[in-house]
Amino acid sequence: MASFEDKVAIITGSATGLGASTALKLSASGARIILNYSKSQAECEATAQACLAAGAKDVRVVQGNVAVDQDCRKIAAAAEDWGQVDILVNNAGTTKHAPNHGDMDALEAEDFLHLYNVNTVGPFMMVRAAKPLLLAAYAKTQNASSVVMISSIAGVIGIGSSVAYAATKGALNTMTKSLARGLAPAIRVNAVCPGFIDTRWFTDAFGEDTTAKIRENVKKQVPLQVASGPDDIADTVAFFCSSASRHITGETLLVDAGLHLGASIRAPT
């Protein structure tokens, strides 16, 4: 993996989970990191300390809701005195759990609008807010800056926590391609589409016992027979942040242990 020495990275929704894991991976080779949280201040400050211990050159913590344009501008502005942003990871997201996609009464119009504001409009506004600094990084190095959208398998095959969530991620995947075309050659835009990620997202919604059952069911379903954790997905996010992916843009990559392949027939052991 290429070094992130002196690179500036903004990672939204980075108090815990995949955002925190990504921040730690970039920190390990000397990046400057902007962490962001909406409500989880204590967890984000703990992640900041962990990033410094891992080797980050500097870390700043910014509160903000990506569904609010002024907050997006505030998050981006935290990097202004560094003069550039080399990496933007749009990780912040939300959902409403309505797993029966045939239940037409499980969601209201307001649910769709809230999820779109955070999961789709938020990443757009973050790119817009950070664009001058992303362009500044390109002007200094002539290497394209990198935007990574954290999407989902839900946006590819229409599964997931709710119809609304899947719809927002499908829109994010389309936007990834539109922005990759529109912002080239100075800015690369790619999306990582995880399947199950073993984070507090599930424990907060369903509790430990149900989450343990979900975890074991995932292992039985996916061809690789694993339940991915944040670090497993963060490795791929870091690849898209790095110069190792310098000739890749407009890509939406499934990182789901083979979930999209469906059930498989395994050889006896």
Task: Report whether 27 contacts 3 (CB < 8 A).
Answer: no
Element (H, E) at 88: strand 87-90
How many C-beta neighbours within 10 Å does residue 65 have? 18
Which residues does 49 contact at the CB level (< 8 Å), separation at least 6?
none
CA distance 227 to 256: 9
Burial class of residue 268 (count of CB atoms within 10 Å of its CB; 0-12, 13-18, 19+): exposed
Which residue out of 37, 116, 138, 165 is catalytically annotated?
165
Determine the residue type at 5: E
Task: Report whether 92 contacts 34 (CB < 8 A).
Answer: no
Q: Is 165 a catalytic residue?
A: yes
CA distance 48 to 59: 6
Residue 124 sits at φ, ψ, to 5 deg, of: -60, -45
Q: Which residues are catalytic?
A: 165
